[in-house]
């Protein structure tokens, strides 16, 4: 069985959805059922509201000794929400990606970076400057995309689909901010084939 470590925030843990509905669990299920890739349930280190430095602290608190066959990293929306600058994000995201690669036995091709969704399109953002939020999210994603490319890590751009999903209540949970299992299924469908391909003989 392949082992899977998922690092992130609310979008990884799945705020207000059952564990089996978050994108890491749905991706693992897809890998087993559709891609005949045996994967254990993911080890998840993620908490709603976490920024890059809080994820770093959370990883340290876990005192992980294990390595994993593959890792996903999705982090940064709360940096943007708290109006932190992208220079700080660049530094802390780079450190997290370096750590993720170490967790993946030093294999960058087995670390999958997901872009930050755009919460500014959701009903929760009513009354806020949606265009400015989108611009800031794009800047953050320019940073994580560049760093992923420099480290030779696969990159999954889920931001466009998040912008479609965020205007449809069926893709959101009750807070009208976080995504539902229906939305995470789409994300998992983007991730799973890339993971399966990485483990082809």
pLDDT tens digit sequence for 81-97: 999 999 999 999 999 99
Percentage, residues of the chain above pLDDT 70:
100
* Confidence at 133, pLDDT banded by 50, 70, 90: very high
Question: Other C-beta atoms within 10 Å of 149: how many?
Answer: 12
Domain residues for 19?
A: 4-198
Evaluate if residue 49 carries a pLDDT over 90.
yes
Distance of alpha carbon 58 from alpha carbon 125, whole angstroms: 28
Domain count, the chain: 1
What is the per-residue burial (b if ≥16 Cβ within 10 Å, else e) of 161-173? bbbebbeeeebbb
- What's the chain's average pLDDT? 97
Maximum distance among all alpha carbons in the chain?
51
What pLDDT score does 86 carry? 97
CB 42 within 8 A of CB 28: yes
Q: What sign for the dihedral angle of Cα 182, 198, 32, 55? A: negative
151 burial type by CB count under 10 A (0-12 exposed, 13-18 middle, 19+ buried) = middle
Distance of alpha carbon 58 from alpha carbon 46, whole angstroms: 8
pLDDT in tens, 146-197: 999 999 999 999 999 999 999 999 999 999 999 999 999 999 999 999 999 9
H or E segment and range at residue 198: helix 181-198
Evaluate if residue 201 carries a pLDDT over 80.
no
Evaluate if residue 123 carries a pLDDT over 70.
yes
CATH number at residue 23: 3.40.50.1110
pLDDT in tens, 29-39: 999 999 999 99
Distance of alpha carbon 47 from alpha carbon 156, whole angstroms: 21
Predicted TM-score (pTM) of this structure: 0.97
Mean pLDDT calculated for residue range 77-84 = 97
* Confidence at 200, pLDDT banded by 50, 70, 90: confident
Distance of alpha carbon 14 from alpha carbon 34, whole angstroms: 22
What is the per-residue burial (b if ≥16 Cβ within 10 Å, else e) of 35-72? bebebeebbbbbbeebbbbbbbebbeeeeeeeebbbbb
């Amino acid at each position: 069985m392949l082992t899977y470590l998922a690092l992130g925030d609310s979008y990884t843990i799945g705020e207000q959805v059952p564990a089996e509905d978050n994108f890491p669990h749905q991706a693992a299920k897809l890998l087993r059922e559709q891609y005949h890739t045996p994967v254990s349930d993911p080890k998840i280190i993620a908490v709603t509201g976490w920024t890059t430095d809080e994820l770093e602290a959370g990883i340290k608190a876990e005192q992980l000794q294990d390595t994993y066959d593959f890792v996903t990293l999705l982090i940064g929306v709360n940096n943007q929400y708290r109006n932190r600058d992208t220079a700080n994000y660049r530094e802390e995201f780079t450190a997290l990606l370096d750590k993720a690669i170490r967790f993946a036995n030093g294999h960058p091709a087995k670390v999958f970076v997901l872009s930050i969704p755009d919460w500014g399109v959701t009903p929760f953002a009513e009354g806020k400057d949606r265009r400015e939020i989108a611009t800031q999210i794009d800047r953050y994603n320019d940073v994580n995309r560049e760093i992923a490319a420099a480290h030779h890590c696969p990159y999954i751009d889920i931001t466009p689909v998040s912008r479609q999903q965020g205007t449809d209540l069926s893709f959101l949970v009750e807070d009208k901010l976080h995504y539902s299992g229906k939305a995470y299924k789409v994300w998992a469908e983007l991730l799973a084939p890339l993971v399966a391909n990485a483990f082809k003989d």
